[in-house]
Structure formats: C-alpha cells, structure tokens
Amino acid sequence: MHNTSHWFAGLELNRCSDQREDRDWLLEQLSHQGARFVPVLRTHNLIGAGELITLNLEDSRRTESERDPILLGVDDAGPWFALPVTEQAAEGLSKRHEGQFGDLRFSASQLPPNAAALGAYARALTYWQHKHRFCGVCGSKTTPQAGGARLKCEQCDRPIFPRVDPAIIVLVHDQNERCLLGRQANWPAGLYSTLAGFVEPGETLEEAVGREVAEESGVIIEPNSVRYHSSQPWPFPSSLMLGFHAEARHTTIECGVELEDAAWFTREQIIEQVQARDMKLPRNVSISRVLLEDWIDGKY
C-alpha cells in the first residue's frame, strides 16, 4: 500500500457523525456566525479566480435553495454546509461573485487541494439528495435527517443513506517492463489511460480487476499478482476508485466493445510520445495519473 495523497481526498473537516442526530445542536450550527456554505447547482460548484466560492451566513439566507443546507462538518472557524441552489439563484450568485458553476473534474487543479475536496464532498451529497427525492420502494417524498446525511421516506419510514459505488482501476504491467493502456472512441485524440470498471455484486475486488481487464482488453492477469495501491473519492457522480496494480499472464490484446484501442507501452515510449505531443495522459486530478506516474518512476 502506498501513502498517496489524491485530489478530493484528505479533507480537513470533522464530519461530526456523532452529533448530527442532535436537532438543537444542528440549529445552533445553522445560525453560527462563522458558518460557511458551499453552493451547488445539481452537479456543479461555483468557481472563480482560482478559488471555490463559498457563502457566509447572511449570503446563504438570501439565496434560494432547493432543499435545506446539508451539514458537511466543522473546522476551527465553524460549521460548513452544502447549499443546493436553484437555477435562478445560481445565475445571481455567478454575477455577484464573478464566478461560474462548473464541473470539478475539469477545474479542481485550479483550486487548493482542501477546497477541491470540500467542493467534491458538497457535490456528492447534493447530487445524492437530488436523485432520491422520492422513495424507491413506495414512491413517496423523502425528508432529510441527521443534517442531511440521511433521508427518510415520509410514508414507509425507510431510511436512505448516501450511495457510494466501488470501482476498480488498475495499472497492468508485464515481465517486459511494459504497461497496458487503453482508450475509448469518444476521448480526445491521443488520450490513453489505465483500465477501470465497477465492482459487480458477489465479486471481490481482485475478481473485479481480473474480469474488467479481460473484458476490456482480452489480457489475462496473474490472479495472485493483484496488489492494492490506494483509493480516491470520485463523486462523478458517486464512485470510490480503488487503485491496484497487477501483472499480466497472457499479453495478447483483443479489445472489447468499450475500448477503441489498447496497447502495451514501455516507460520510454510514454515519455517520448508525451513530449512529442502524440500521446496524452489522464488529468492530474485522477488516480489513473498517479498509478501511471508511480509505475514510470519505478515504484512497482
């Protein structure tokens, strides 16, 4: 296991899980003069001039929201909330703060790491609440509880918790010091990445690694070679990326339906092609980029 710091991880915030059930405490936090609010429009955060734009208590009270603020946690200055804003409110906030609501996948590298993690956390909970406005069992409306960390069906009382989808991502290498990279047809020209996919029910992480690599590329890995690297929150919309590296047993490539191309690359080939601008690597905010750079640096 590697001690790796990823974008959207390492948030310096006490999530106060043991205090969320205390309604009086929550009301105190909502009126705290040091409270800060992260406005979110469905899946977009408000960003401007290289910073995540947040609102103070007064700003939040005059901003129209779709639902109640969602408690994110508390730091030394006070509580933090996600604020699910309406489209009309978003237009006003953009003009007032000279920013734009955008996707953190493409703008996180412009932000300080803790701000990017805060924005991703707020985005994840806001998106989850928006997608679960109605109970999946009886269809009745849901009501936020525990500061927004849980929903409850108004009819059947079913509790609904935030969804996290585990997905594996793996750097496959062979005995000839090559790594396996692939690309999808809709990606920018020249972009190659490590292979990834969702974990299926009744499947271990190691089994998911082997299945996804075989399905996407036709390459068969050594089952006992799968080693955990690190994990990254990836709330686009609700994944947890679980990073691995593994060694190939059979290196013949036969691309499945998901990939336009897959190929083996040496470290030197990657460096040369990137320098020549014939090849693009994944964005530096992704765990894929970390897996690849660690392999190029000879860390495994």
pLDDT (tens digit per residue) in 30-41: 999 999 999 999
Positive or negative: CA dihedral 292, 295, 299, 300: positive
Q: What is the mean pLDDT of residues 123-131?
A: 95
Q: Is the model more confident about 42 or about 199?
A: 199
Q: What is the mean pLDDT of residues 127-133?
A: 95
Average pLDDT, the chain: 95
What was the pLDDT predicted at 2?
A: 55
Q: What is the mean pLDDT of residues 77-91?
A: 97
What was the pLDDT predicted at 4?
A: 63
Structure pTM? 0.93
What was the pLDDT predicted at 214?
A: 97
What was the pLDDT predicted at 300?
A: 83
Q: What is the mean pLDDT of residues 182-211?
A: 97
What was the pLDDT predicted at 217?
A: 98
pLDDT tens digits, 102-117: 999 999 999 999 999 9
Does residue 1 carry a pLDDT above 70? no
Domains and CATH numbers, the chain: 23-131 (3.90.79), 165-296 (3.90.79.10)
Q: What is the mean pLDDT of residues 199-228?
A: 97
Of all residues in the chain, the percent with pLDDT exceeding 70 is 99
Of all residues in the chain, the percent with pLDDT exceeding 90 is 96
What was the pLDDT predicted at 5?
A: 81
Does residue 24 carry a pLDDT above 60? yes
